[in-house]
Amino acid sequence: MIAVRSQRRAVGFSLLEMLVAMVILGLALGAMYQAAGGATRNLRTDERYAYAVELARSVRANYTQVPRQGMADSGETAGGFRWSVEAQPLPRARGSRLDEGALQTLLVRVNWADGSRERTVQLDSIAYGVDR
């Protein structure tokens, strides 16, 4: 009879072994859910960053020609992205044949809130100054 009991006992798991297996499974699932949640947050941040870069490029494209004396403008999108653009005349190099204000430094900034953090994208460019 003793031999039969040991064979029967070896066939199944004990309650303690099942509890340990369930704890390990719970920890593994918790880590997987946390990793999936982090990936989702990173994807949302990347999408908003890509949108801000495209918005900055679009604003820059709208200001290829600016007044010779410089300018500043700003706005906000429906999604909460705030943009600003500033143009200032570049100093003329000695001996330059360009008129004063013909070249402008163009600074485009896009700001948005990402949770509790404020994020910014900035593009620096050159614009052509014209008389308006």
pLDDT of 54 reads 96
- For 101-132, what is each residue's pLDDT tens digit? 788 899 999 999 988 899 999 999 999 888 87
Going by C-alpha positions, the residue among 39, 38, 53, 72 that lies closest to residue 119 is 53
Portion of the chain with pLDDT greater than 90, in percent: 45
Confidence at 5, pLDDT banded by 50, 70, 90: low
pTM (predicted TM-score): 0.68
Scan for tokens 């992205």, then name that residue: 81
- Give me the sign of the Cα torsion angle 48, 50, 52, 55: negative
pLDDT at 8 over 60: no
Phi (first) and psi of residue 78, to 5 degrees: -65, -25
How far is it, in rounded angstroms, from Cα 10 to Cα 12? Answer: 6
- Give me the sign of the Cα torsion angle 28, 115, 79, 72: negative
Give the list of residues 6+ apart from residue 119 with CB closer than 8 angstroms, or none.
48, 49, 52, 111, 112, 113
How far is it, in rounded angstroms, from Cα 66 to Cα 93? Answer: 20
- For 54-107, what is each residue's pLDDT tens digit? 999 999 999 989 998 999 999 999 989 999 999 999 887 777 787 787 888 999
